[in-house]
Amino acid sequence: MSESPSARRESTFALRVRDLVTTFRTDAGEVRAVDGVSLEIAPGRTLGLVGESGCGKSVTALSILGLLPERLAYVESGSIELATHAGTRDLAKLDEDAYVGVRGPEISMIFQDPMSSLNPMMTVGEQLTEGLLAHRAMSHEAADARAIELLRKVGIPAPEERVHAYPHQLSGGMRQRVMIAIAIACEPKVLVADEPTTALDVTIQAQVLELLRVLRDESGMALLLITHDLAVIAEVADEVAVMYAGRIVERGAASAVLAAPHHPYTRALLRSIPSHALVPGASGEARKKLRLPTIAGTVPALGAWPSGCRFVDRCDVAIARCREEMPPLSPPPNRAEGGEVACWRGYDAGAETGVEASAETRVETGAETGVETGAEVGA
């Protein structure tokens, strides 16, 4: 686990994923669920990863953590650089044995459903101390004390008693807090949270998000937050990456992307959301309405992506080029806040770029699908 001087100089990131390709072996052959994803998170920052169901968010997370279903899927190419306590390591090159030393002390993950991740046969305390004993040179007494301290830290009342409880004896919100306590037990540099609040009611969601934010600020860990909930992005994320059909289609500062989305897909996601609900601290009732709105048409099935831009069959501002060439992720020339967007014309609806979808060049898709990507687009 040695670190080169150049690696030490470069470690301004906590996690840097470059051109990640993750492939599933299916009966119909090999198909890419994640196809060239790049992400970067600095220490102490939160990157929100958002997109419709099936776009590849969880597969991205599982690829980073080395938790892909064995024999079914593998990281085909790309790098997953993690700034560990001992220097930068490329997780894409690790085998399972090496991952064991990284998962927990360097990077960890919490899932949507704590019941499927917690062991029903072990007490909360046993599950909390397991990682501590494995990764830290700690006595059992010290690990037990640390387990109670961690439960207190994540807001579990009467931690001295709850440490002896089994998962089924706790409420859903408490189980999620226990999951978080286990995930942060060894003080990882990066925490990946895959829909951590989706299964919780709105009040508890807000508490758990606040807890994640406090823990992030206290420890300086980076947070990769996967969510369907755009209000969560507004509330917690510094940066956002919007994913569609295995690729990132837009990314940038969360405030900039939410205020002025450039990609037709991001615009479609945001179109039906009341803007006041995206203000950090929006009420619980407003948040309830913020599940991703339905966009006409569906994410194409794995391996059945159209050529060119994968959004083309749902995009009402598509032009002929969209079917021919995949748009690269590149900086929109007219966004002062920076960011990147993968669209031949979506970054400014054509007006400033001089691109107009004429009747001849326009691909007839929106009319069929009923997709409207915002009146401002191409209007």
Q: Does 262 bind ligand ATP (CB under 6 A)?
A: no
Q: Residue 247 and residue 259: Cα distance in Å, rounded?
A: 22
Q: Within 13 Å of residue 186, how many CA atoms lie on the same side as its CB? A: 26
Q: Does 117 bind Mg ion (CB under 5 A)?
A: no
Nearer to Mg ion, 200 or 315 (CB): 200
> Which of 58, 117, 129, 227 is in the footprint of Mg ion by CB under 5 A?
58
What is the chain's alpha carbon radius of gyration, rounded to the nearest angstrom?
Answer: 22
Q: Check: CB of residue 14 under 8 Å from CB of residue 216.
A: no
Select the binding partner of residue 54 from Mg ion, ligand ATP, ligand SF4, none (C-beta < 5 to 8 A, by kind).
Answer: ligand ATP
Strand, coil or helix: 188: coil
Q: Does 265 bind ligand ATP (CB under 6 A)?
A: no
Nearer to Mg ion, 58 or 117 (CB): 58
Q: Check: CB of residue 264 under 8 Å from CB of residue 276.
A: no
- Scan residues 258-317 and list those touching ligand SF4 (CB under 6 A): 264, 309, 311-312, 315, 317
Nearest approach, Cβ of residue 323 and ligand SF4 (Å):
8
Q: Check: CB of residue 222 under 8 Å from CB of residue 288.
A: no
Select the binding partner of residue 312 from ligand ATP, ligand SF4, Mg ion, none (C-beta < 5 to 8 A, by kind).
Answer: ligand SF4
Q: Which residues, listed in sequence order, are joined to residue 222 by a DSSP beta bridge?
A: 190
Task: Name the residue with tokens 């949270």.
Answer: 193
Q: Tokens representing 199?
A: 């299964």
> Which of 135, 175, 189, 345 is in the footprint of ligand SF4 by CB under 6 A?
345
Which stretches does DSSP call E strand in 85-237? 87-90, 107-110, 190-194, 222-227
Q: Applying CB under 6 A, what is the total number of residues that bind ligand SF4?
A: 13
Nearest approach, Cβ of residue 378 and ligand ATP (Å):
28
Nearest approach, Cβ of residue 57 and ligand ATP (Å):
4
Using CB under 6 A, list all residues that contact ligand ATP.
24, 33, 51, 53-59, 69, 72, 302
